[in-house]
Chains A and B, each alone.
Chain A
Amino acid sequence: MLKIDNLTKTYGEKTAVDNLTLHVAPGEIYGFIGHNGAGKSTTIKAVAGLLAFDSGEITVCGKSVKADPLAVKREIAYLPDNPDLYEFLSGIKYLNFVADVFDVPSTVRQERVHKYAELFELTADLAQPVSSYSHGMKQKLALISALLHEPQLMIMDEPFVGLDPKAAKAVKDLMREVCNRGGAIFFSTHVLEVAEKLCDKVAIISHGKLAASGNMEDVLGNESLENVFFELEDSTK
């Protein structure tokens, strides 16, 4: 589904991501863990086509992000850590805008908006301008918009930040639903407990380099994810 091969991204002298390779298969929830500034967001943005990279290759469903970014963007949904949405639109107009861009048929978009807005308890607020939304409501709206075109791959940067427990549970269920229909999830998080319980595979990035990756059981062994994370952090310092 997603193949990142030898990805390197530099900002001037600083190497943000250094020769990173990881693959996400269909049906997998893949967690991406690292400290602040480790290179998680840079990697995620490169996958979403928001950042040009120096070397390496990223493909989604066999399509290259570099060579055919539009084809890749049609297959994915990207959710940033802090969704700054169009404040001047109402919630429903924002969703309709995204549906228009993805060319989602009218009845289908109607059904999906209804389904996900009910799930996140946002239906009543859809006529309100986005500028009046709380952070959590914006996060929910961004999630609904990400699901409107049934993406093959969802790329999420800290998706649980700002969500109430009920919405967080709904997101976890949705992530599994996406995988059950053959899609995949690649997301970053700081909440190690969530990653440990939710992910099929995990990658730990430290100072731009991949410190560990693989099935959750293989990476953990007999340890908790927290212990593994701190051991790897210490060893890469």
Chain B
Amino acid sequence: MIFQLFIINLKAIFSQMFNRTRFSPRAQRPLPLRGTAGKIGIAARIIYCVGAFGFMFFGLFGSMLDEFFALGIGWLYFAIDGVLVFGICTISCIFTAQSQIFNAKDNDLLLSMPLKPSSILLARILTLLVTEYAFEALISIPALLVWLRGGYGTSLGVVFFVVGFILLPLIALAVACLLAWILTLVTSRMRRKNIVTLVISVAFFAAYFYFAFNMQNYITRLVENGAEIAAAFRRVFPPVYFYGNSVANGAPLDALLFALCAVIPFALIIALLSANFVRVATTKRGAKRIEYREKALKTSTALFALNKKELSHYWSNPMYVLNMSMGSMFMVVGGVAAVVKRGALAELASQFSLLIPGLTPGILAGIALAFFATTNCASASLISIEGKSLWIARSLPVRARDALLSKLLMHLQIGALPGVFASLLIIIALSLYNPSELLIALLLPFLFTLFMGVGGLALNILLPKFDWVNEVQPVKQGMPVVLLMFGSMALLIVLALPYIIFLRGVLTISAYVWLVIAVIAALDALLYRWLVTGGAKRFDAYEV
């Protein structure tokens, strides 16, 4: 029974990830996306993710392999692999564990069936474990290949690597389940649980990015003080030392100790959760009830009411905020950093100007902020997230054009306002009083934000998906979001290449950026025109 439940859970995950719809002009409604286009989209996405992560980890492990083995601390190489797997698998799994184990919508249904609670729990744990293995493969396979290519591999080491590969996610999963349980208990009675979750998530991401940006420094320090750090490592986090030593030096005793370190906590956590699963899954939760006190109701226009509704939806889900507004966060951080570290920014700009003559700080800031703007993909899921409540927008006397504009306005509020804020900070910090530079720093990010807004909405109109179970699905896994992400990257490359290849000697960088501004403005105008005419017509044709 556990296996059957596990397969059902897996099918649900795959179906949510890969079942797509597209708007059919013939049927005048969204239909399932089948055939070559759908397969190409899925394949491109997988290749991109695997390629990007693989490239990053190949580089990382390649940079430390020889030094570590030359210093006689080869085990640290795999210990770092273990720490990365543990960290990424734990962070990525906490919220999934929370939603799939403790807050799963089908807990009541399954518990009413003649099934052991432990079977339901184990099936869910196994499903989580599969996703952990996928994350682990992205990190550990490059580590293995770099190690083998370097000529340090041994048969016993490979065997222990496989054992480690199987057991390492158990530690991460045990910790993630425990943290998810604590998080569920802590937030269950909170009224502002979304904000708490958002703050925790941002803290995780900030820690991750801090770590990622300083990775090279850490590696240098590891190489310089290898022996001392290795000893500290061994004391603080013994399981990864056992794992590292078992693979690098083919040590059977360490392999056994590692296996015990992985299996025993995992078994304890499973036993603890099994014993408490029914209580946790059926406890009626909810924030403290607040009684309504009548007060004057504020009025607004239909367009503004729709926009307020969009903003409320956006702020209601921390995953939505995190996934869709990373660029905005970077813009704000960048703007503040420009004020705090203005000297470093000016230095960076002068270094870049050696590569591209004429690249002033203002132009560089404009380009950087425009790049951040292209990572905000909120607009590409704004139609899909209407989901089953689409009937409201369709039955109210609201023009499709207004419904779409309210969504575009929301995208601009979360994308353009931080952009303008960051631009102004940079302008002040770097004293950019040259009108051309000043305008580039303001206009370029704004036009790219607008492009992401109209482009994302256009894609979502053509490829809507309303039959999701969890609204994170269209936001994180939606085809329009992926296409927008890829499309904007492709656009950046297409816009940059002509200058790099053959226009460098013909045009100044400033003149070329103005040309790019004109192109993006024209694209924005075209897409906007389609959105309020053809797009609105399609929106009106959705059958509820």
Given A71-B397, A86-B309, A103-B302, 9 more pairs with CB closer than 8 A: A50-B391, A70-B397, A86-B312, A97-B308, A100-B299, A101-B397, A127-B292, A128-B290, A132-B286
A24 at the interface (CB under 8 A from B): no
Chain B residues with CB below 8 A from A125, complex form: 292
Which B residues contact A (CB, under 8 angstroms)?
28, 286-287, 289-294, 296-302, 304-306, 308-309, 312-313, 316-317, 387-389, 391-392, 394-399, 540-541, 543-544
Chain A residues with CB below 8 A from B297, complex form: 92, 96, 99, 106, 109-110, 113
* Subset of 14 A-B contacts with CB under 8 Å: A51-B544, A70-B397, A70-B398, A73-B395, A74-B397, A78-B391, A84-B389, A91-B292, A99-B297, A100-B302, A100-B305, A101-B396, A106-B297, A128-B292
A103–B361 Cα distance when bound, in Å, is: 49
Residues A128-183 near B (CB distance < 8 A): 128, 132
B393 to chain A, nearest CB (A): 9
**B interface, over-half SS:** loop
B313 lies within 8 A of A88 (CB)? yes
Closest to B191 in A: A129
Rank and list the top 6 A-B pairs by shortest CB-CB distance, nearest first: A100-B305, A88-B316, A126-B292, A84-B388, A73-B397, A127-B292
Chain B residues with CB below 8 A from A230, complex form: none
A50 lies within 8 A of B394 (CB)? yes
Chain A residues with CB below 8 A from B294, complex form: 110, 114, 123
A89 at the interface (CB under 8 A from B): yes
Chain A residues with CB below 8 A from B292, complex form: 91-92, 123-128
Most A CB contacts (10 A, CB to CB) among B297, B301, B304, B389 go to B297
Closest to B300 in A: A100
Closest to A103 in B: B302
A92–B286 Cα distance when bound, in Å, is: 19
Chain A residues with CB below 8 A from B312, complex form: 86, 88-89, 93
Chain A residues with CB below 8 A from B388, complex form: 84
Interface residues on A, range: 35 or more
Question: B289 contacts which of A74, A103, A106, A128 (Cβ < 8 Å)?
Answer: A128
B396 lies within 8 A of A73 (CB)? yes
A8 to chain B, nearest CB (A): 15
Closest to B391 in A: A80
A85 at the interface (CB under 8 A from B): yes
A50 lies within 8 A of B302 (CB)? no
B392 lies within 8 A of A124 (CB)? no
A191 at the interface (CB under 8 A from B): no
Chain A residues with CB below 8 A from B287, complex form: 132
A56–B389 Cα distance when bound, in Å, is: 28
Closest to A149 in B: B397
Most A CB contacts (10 A, CB to CB) among B296, B299, B306, B317 go to B299
Chain B residues with CB below 8 A from A127, complex form: 290-293
A140 to chain B, nearest CB (A): 14
A26 at the interface (CB under 8 A from B): no
Closest to A95 in B: B297
Most A CB contacts (10 A, CB to CB) among B289, B296, B308, B394 go to B394
A167–B297 Cα distance when bound, in Å, is: 25
Most A CB contacts (10 A, CB to CB) among B289, B306, B397 go to B397
Chain A residues with CB below 8 A from B391, complex form: 50, 78, 80, 84
A96 lies within 8 A of B298 (CB)? yes
A100 lies within 8 A of B28 (CB)? no
A102 lies within 8 A of B309 (CB)? no
